[in-house]
Amino acid sequence: MTEKEFLDIRRRFPILERKVAGRDMVYLDNAATSQTPDSVVDEIAYLYRHTKANVHRGVHTVSQEATDLQEEARRKVARYINAPSPEEVIFTRGTTESINLVAYSMGQLFPAGGQIILTVMEHHANIVPWQLMAQRRGLAIRVVDIDDRGVLDQEQYRSLFNEKTVMAAFCHVSNVLGTVNPVKEMTAFAHSRGIPVLVDGAQGTPHLPVDVQDIGCDFYAFSSHKMYGPCGIGVLFGRREWLEKMPPYQGGGEMISHVSFSGTTFAELPFKFEAGTPDFVDIAAFSKAFDFIEEVGIDTIAAREHELLEYTTRRLENEVEGLRIYGTAPHKSGVISFLVGKAHPYDTGLLLDKLGVEVRTGHHCAQPLMERFSIPGTVRASFAVYNSLRDCDAFVDALKRIAPMLQ
């Protein structure tokens, strides 16, 4: 990526020009939510002004236009992740709802006494829904551990499968450690035992090429707001064979074929799982985020973020006294979680904010992982394609400035 190409990308995100505490803002909280380019924001404004009408329910022109835009977004999602068909792409409110949908609906098919395999590095969104289902259905949860680098114990993973296993669910990329898991190999092993797999891709799709057919997973979940799109939109890819077996997650309009008081028949996929009026404006605007990613190139994005990760990690390790990085797997995404001295992560984050550096602090919705490392939380810096080496320098220099206060 040339300097001119980078500056062109960065200019599409006006928020990056704002000030925090009287300084140029350095935004390094992309794992929580990425910023949104002008093309997406402009599309949302245009649609609210010119094409706001409920989808799938009207014969009038504006409704048909809105429907076409939403369904084109579905086709674009399917192409981006190489789903076999758009009918296997379900729109939700985010990764969390996507996983809840699978846990609830798949859970209805599980026998009592079954076991679900998770990992210690999961986000709460890929833990709590399974716990709720386990309580309702009398299931057990088994957990795969990691080594001190943040690499999953694959031998333990394979050993946990037995005749009671009914499901395996794991993240593509850890939101805390940045670890990129070998999801294709893990899925293949589960399938060799006849077990379906869900992959939490919230931290995968923004940063890596994703091909659900190559991975082989049965479900893949992700969110728009982490990949330059609007908030409140999520995606669930599900294999048709499972989606047709699963009961609906919610009932209401849109997801029915016929309703009477003697019984209801459900709509065909994907509408069977899309009850109620969807956020058709933001779904349609999500298309513009895909346009942005495809224009820049996901491989270019991955390479840029890897450059930022390596550069920043090297400076932190060599220049910041008392710093400890959590997550040193050989295959990492653009996330650095760390602590400095004896300071609580909140205090470190607060001081960085006073210097214009925006990072995330806390347990990052991964409390079991924090317990694994015996820490209360971490400070997390995470990168996107619009971040610069200058951002990285400002971050490290700010941390060097405050580090003596944190020992």
Question: 171, 217, 231, 365: which is the annotated catalytic residue?
Answer: 365
Please give the torsion angle defined by the CA atoms of residues 89, 81, 368 and 175, in that order, rounded to the nearest 10 degrees.
-130
Report how far residue 216's alpha carbon sits from residue 330's, in angstroms, rounded to the nearest whole number: 23
Report how far residue 95's alpha carbon sits from residue 184's, in angstroms, rounded to the nearest whole number: 20
**How many CB atoms lie under 10 A from the CB of residue 155?**
8
**How many CB atoms lie under 10 A from the CB of residue 189?**
17
301 contacts 207 by C-beta, under 8 angstroms: yes
Report how far residue 238's alpha carbon sits from residue 114's, in angstroms, rounded to the nearest whole number: 21
Report how far residue 351's alpha carbon sits from residue 407's, in angstroms, rounded to the nearest whole number: 14
Tokens for 54, please give them: 């409920």
CA distance between the termini of the chain: 39
Q: 248-285 burial string, b = 16+ CB within 10 Å, else e?
A: bbeeeebbbeeeeeeeeebbebbbbbbbeebbbbbbbb
281 contacts 67 by C-beta, under 8 angstroms: no
Kindly give the pairing relationship between strand 360-362 and strand 378-382: antiparallel
Report how far residue 99's alpha carbon sits from residue 42's, in angstroms, rounded to the nearest whole number: 30
231 is catalytic: no
Give me the active site residues, please.
365
